[in-house]
Amino acid sequence: MLLQTVRPNIVQSIRAFRVDDLMRAAQELGHHFLYANLGQAQSKQDVLEVIADAFLFPPHFGKNLDALNDCMTDQVFKSGAQAGFVVVLEQLPDNARFDREAREQLLDVFRDTADFWADRKIPFRCFYSFQ
């Protein structure tokens, strides 16, 4: 199985993994597969909008990092039992409007999310790549 070698609660570069393979692995495990292609995003606001649309966040999503954290943790947790998650953030921007600090802040939200689910013994694996 593809994800056997990947810790159950981690945020890491996608490296040699392919998106289609990760999607199939999530399906085999009965995990949610969340995918966002951020290739057209240029700013933090763009990134949050693409993620919100791709992950089907509710219309009241605040489009800030705190709201992202809430949607990825408490709101999902309150909706019932979860088997696990495989998240792919493909082509994170790498430009002056979304610099290294902005990327790290975004990835920190996903790291916090991985910790949240780890505390509940639910696998949460997040993979990312840069433009």
Assess if residue 94 is contained within a domain: yes
Query: Is residue 37's pLDDT more than 90?
Result: yes
E strand or H helix that includes residue 44: helix 44-54
Give the span between the Cα atoms of 80 and 46, in whole angstroms: 30
Q: Find the distance separating the first CA and the last CA of the chain, reported in whole Å.
A: 28
The pLDDT tens digits for 38-76 are 999 999 999 999 999 999 999 889 999 999 999 999 888
Assess if residue 1 is contained within a domain: no
Assess if residue 87 is contained within a domain: yes
Q: How confident is the model at residue 79 (pLDDT cuts 50, 70, 90)?
A: confident
Give the span between the Cα atoms of 129 and 5, in whole angstroms: 19
Assess if residue 57 is contained within a domain: yes
Of 74, 83, 32, 39, give the one whose Cα is nearest residue 55: 32
Assess if residue 39 is contained within a domain: yes
Give the span between the Cα atoms of 32 and 26, in whole angstroms: 6
State the residue range of the domain holding 74.
7-130
E strand or H helix that includes residue 36: strand 32-37
Of 89, 99, 97, give the one whose Cα is nearest residue 127: 89
Domain count, the chain: 1
CATH number at residue 64: 3.30.370.10
What are the φ and ψ backbone dihedral angles of 32, each rounded to 5 degrees? -70, 140
Higher per-residue pLDDT: 80 or 127: 127
Assess if residue 35 is contained within a domain: yes
Assess if residue 28 is contained within a domain: yes
Percent of the chain with pLDDT over 90: 85
Query: Is residue 22's pLDDT more than 90?
Result: yes
Assess if residue 2 is contained within a domain: no
